[in-house]
Amino acid sequence: MNNELYLIDSTLRDGEQRADVAFTHGQRETIALMLNSLGIAEIEVGTPAAGRDEIESIRRIVSLGLDCRLTGWCRALSMDLEAAESANLRSVHFSLPVSRILLSTLGRDRSWVFGQLSQLLANALNRFDFVSVGLQDASRTDTRFLVDLACSAAIHGANRVRIADTVGVWDPLRTWAVVGRVREAVPDILLGFHGHNDLGMATANALAALQAGADCVDVTVNGLGERAGNAALEEVAMALKVILKENIGLRTKKLAELCDFVASASGIPIAAHKPIVGKQVFRHESGIHVRAMQKDRRSYEPFAPSEVGQSDSVTVLGKHSGRAALHQAFAESGIELNTSQADRLLDAVRQRSSELGRSLTPIEVLRLYET
């Protein structure tokens, strides 16, 4: 694995492409500022060719003077590069369709891809400081073709090649194999990966790509994006930290605040048990878990809630609770239970929880105690 890994956030581009999502200019600027404060290395700020309003929004973000690279996404068309330049961007990414499915819908073939690559790359390098080339729908074409395209991009001076699992059909083993093969072929160029979550594997595929030699992966806040979305920023960031022991300079304590803002701005709420930032992922009921966590919180938490800006862990009482949780809950309220009280109350809590089909609130538990 390379030493300097980084994330590219595409919330303002691919994230906003989700159906029924449209950020205001102010929301887009706030998201960009929050991503910059988080320590993100690069933000894909939008699609300049989408029109004047998009260009104006990008210009406003550029004028913020952020520390990270700001990149515009373009189709494989000269007019898109011109739009990106008019948005005052100094970094651009243009995407080439590489699967037979996408090429056939455009009436193109592989020779067109090579020709368009060399032509657009020469044009882009004259206009921008940083040029990234995307291989769209790479997961549904053959590896040899991807290698040839990556080599051509490197020879013609591209700064980065990005492999895209556009419809989320790769698994981690396949991702690792293909990214590793491309990495081997072009060792001296930045290599990126863009993964979608149609089969729920985007985060795993992103990690596999990094382990195979990719320098960077695309993410979005809350996994926001088309269809089932993209690799989630918060998930990939913490997986890098917890699993791969990689410190890429992100201030992860800001994650919960960022995710909450994007959820509000997008109108797409965060599921209660969403990994990392869901409001119930640090709630514990199981008696075995609670007893162990009273001795060491790490027993059943891979990281502390505070590491991602979440509130401290919460113990709830319900069908699966044990005496340790019951004693702890009442001790916090200044009430000491004797053995007989604890046994009778625990039976009542479990029965009431089964009847309601959920954990009990503190008030409900207190009423059972009083009864």
Sequence ranges of the domains in the chain: 6-266, 283-370
What is the reported pLDDT for 286?
A: 73
Going by C-alpha positions, the residue among 200, 243, 235 that lies closest to residue 217 is 235
Could you tell me the pLDDT band of residue 3, with boundaries at 50, 70 and 90?
Answer: low
pLDDT tens for 195-206 read 999 999 999 999
Q: Are strands 160-165 and 314-315 parallel, antiparallel or unpaired?
A: unpaired
Domain 6-266 fold: TIM Barrel (3.20.20)
- Provide the token pair at 61: 């973000």
pLDDT tens for 47-99 read 999 999 999 999 999 999 999 999 999 999 999 999 999 999 999 999 999 99
The DSSP line for 192-228 is EEEEB-TTS-HHHHHHHHHHTT-SEEEEBGGG--STT
In whole numbers, what is the pLDDT of the chain averaged over residues? 93
DSSP state of 244: S
The DSSP line for 163-188 is EEETT----HHHHHHHHHHHHHH-TT
